Amino acid sequence: MKLLTLAFWEVVLAGSVRLAVPLALAALGETLVERSGILNLGVEGMMIMGALAGVWAAVGGGSWAGVAAGAAVGALLGALMALAVVGGGANQVVIGVALTLLGTGLASFLFQAWIPSGRQGVGVSPVPVVRVPGLADLPLVGPALFAQNLLMYGTLALVPALAWMLRRSRFGLAVRAVGDDPAAAALRGVATARVRTLTLVAGGALAGVAGAAITVGYLGSFTDGVTAGRGFVAVAIVIIGNWTPLGALAGALLFAFCDSLALHAQSGGVVLPVEAWSALPYLVTLAVLVVTSRRRRAPRALGV
Amino acid sequence: MTPRVPRGLPATRVLRAVRALRGTVPVWVVVGAAVAAGAVLLLAVGADPVVGYREIVLGAVGDRYHLGETVVRAVPVAVVALGVVPALRARVFTIGSEGQLAMGALASTVAVLALGTLPAPLLLAVGALAGVAGGALWALPAALLRGYARVNEILSTLLLNYVAGFGLLWLLRTALREPGTLTTPSSADLPEAGRIPTLLPGTRLHWGVVLVLVAAAGLAWWVRSPRGFALDVYGTHPALAARMGVRPAGAVVSTMLVGGAAAGLAGWVQVAGVQGRLYPSVAGGLGFTGLVVALLGGLRPAGVLGVALIFGALATGAEGLQVGTGVPASLATVVQALLLGGVALSAAASHRRLRRGAGERPG
């Protein structure tokens, strides 16, 4: 496949949208969490636990049971973080690092206990792909936008829903108030602890689904370290997306586009080492992080 | 319809229960809880917890060789951890040790292989200096970006870790590759003169452990020095620190460079002290673990050394456990994570107790 053909870019675009789904889901959840003033570095741990739980549940119950299990495990870890950070007042960054460590360690432990190394791995049938009749055959964007699994359409629907909720709803107002000035919000009668607990549970659930979106969404199996730092990338995406749902989606698409380009570029006949392509999405994210660092407005109480 | 915040959520009830525990969680409870959770995991996979923990202890300190392994594992972690303490004390959260360690290992391997004919003491110095330089150089972009452009250091260092990993892979696959290494690419063996001599015969324990003691002593001195104190103040009260003459950019850049240099040194220790050659997984989570150890050690040299030894013992012991009983060695990671979380909670509790105590006194 040559770089300048339509078919090449069709494949790259379809791959970018597929790879963007887990990133966008995790980043949307983290956007909500950070808007309430909590920095959650445990996304990576929540994702990998969701990825494992997803495959485990999908073996018996099918792919949607897997997605639900991912959400449940993520929500549980989110509640755990809320207990430590909101209830116990512990340092958010430290608890986030601990949760990532816990998630990666526990996922590896449970997976090896479930399927000892050397034994045949478990494969599940992924979430079904829905082709929109007619539109899926459009050149270039057809496969990317109209022949994806239902998680992708759900993610797209979640973006305006979350944006509306943050901007217009009462709960969204409470979230923003808590994220900007918890003391003032509390004085005005907002239950700050409850709001932050809820955002952490919801953000955790989304991170769990994001993990399941990798394994149950398209891979069909779990391997140790399958999330490969995507949780941390999601945290970066929240920042380059300027803490808005639409920005999170755009950031996820940018990273996933570079990722997809890297996956397919070798077959496109581009003379660059594989590793340079693999490093590209991280470098591009870093570059955007730098370029946008001046015009950003973080929730004022983020991390406090 | 407007979503409302539901009242009386079960989670908030549990929250209240946790609040009731405030200020009553000493560290030994945390350790006990982590050990108990490990026992639950052992039970969950059908292993006897008593047998399991005996395997861990025997695997960590059961004989001379395993005791050596425990210390060998603790050394790089301790070097990384001691190095990030100044940054963490200044509230600069650098998570880039992983990539800096890889770059230090890379630089020292290249330097030692290139100057392989030098006599031993010189070659050791070359390796160590190249490691320091490689690690510090890799820390430099993130440090400058944080210091002068206010780019979040947690994310920039994290992203650079992946770039470093891919860079290392590329060089090991091409320029540095030793022909004949098929499955995992690795570099040529370092010349004997470039390797850190063994300290304890019959084990892999090397003289690099002395480096840890020197670094710890240096850190202990620095913490008490005026500069160390000023950076402490910068971490908690930036405005006050500015009046003491601390330049924010300078504080951030210098502490991050120290962290990078230490991580790079740890990279050299792994290459020249343990494996004798460069390989793709040289960082292998050491950077992340180093950060955890620094936090758990209370950002104090003695604490860091103690926790590094405990973590080394846990990791070595868990491998013994896996060999002996087939229970996955990642049990150690879970216990480490629980220790970190528990200690963070306990620290928050005692911090609050202190503040409450101060508030009760008149004046």
Note whether A81 and A200 are within 8 A (CB): yes
Note whether B77 and B311 are within 8 A (CB): yes
DSSP B241-296: HHHTT--HHHHHHHHHHHHHHHHHHHHHIIIIIIISS--TTSSTTHHHHHHHHHHH
Q: Does B333 lie at the interface with A, CB-CB under 8 angstroms?
A: yes
Tens of pLDDT, residues B117-135: 888 889 999 999 999 999 9
CA atoms within 13 A on the CB side of A60: 5
Note whether B73 and B316 are within 8 A (CB): yes
Q: Does A173 lie at the interface with B, CB-CB under 8 angstroms?
A: no
Q: What are phi and psi of A300, to 5 degrees?
A: -60, -30
pLDDT for B264 beyond 60: yes
Tens of pLDDT, residues B79-107: 999 999 999 999 898 899 999 999 999 99
* Whole-number pLDDT of residue B3: 41
Nearest C-alpha neighbor of A172 from the set A244, A80, A277: A244
Residue A137 DSSP label: G
Per-residue pLDDT of chain A (304 residues; tens, 9 = 90+): 566 677 788 888 888 999 999 999 999 999 999 999 999 999 999 999 999 999 999 998 888 999 999 999 999 999 999 999 998 888 898 999 999 999 999 999 999 888 887 777 788 888 888 888 877 777 777 777 777 888 898 999 999 999 999 999 999 999 999 998 888 888 888 899 999 999 999 999 999 999 999 999 888 889 888 888 899 999 999 988 989 999 999 999 999 998 888 888 766 666 778 888 889 899 999 998 888 877 777 888 887 6
Cβ contacts of B338 on chain A, cutoff 8 Å:
98, 102
Cβ contacts of B351 on chain A, cutoff 8 Å:
89
* Whole-number pLDDT of residue B2: 39
Cβ contacts of B334 on chain A, cutoff 8 Å:
102, 105-106, 109
Q: How far is B30 from chain A (nearest CA, A)?
A: 13
Q: Does A90 lie at the interface with B, CB-CB under 8 angstroms?
A: yes
Note whether A16 and A260 are within 8 A (CB): yes
Cβ contacts of B326 on chain A, cutoff 8 Å:
116
Who contacts B36 (Cβ-Cβ below 8 Å, separation ≥6)?
none
Nearest C-alpha neighbor of B62 from the set B336, B339, B330, B323: B323
| CB atoms closer than 10 angstroms to residue B10 | 8
pLDDT for B262 beyond 60: yes
| Residue numbers of A between 272 and 291 with CB closer than 8 Å to B | 273-276, 278-279, 282-283, 285-286, 289-290
User: What number is the average pLDDT over the span B145-166?
Assistant: 91
Tens of pLDDT, residues B314-353: 999 998 888 888 888 899 999 999 999 988 888 887 777 6
> Which sign does the torsion angle of CA B259, B262, B267, B268 carry?
positive
Identify the helix (H) or strand (E) that includes residue A149.
strand A147-149
pLDDT band at residue B18, thresholds of 50, 70 and 90?
low
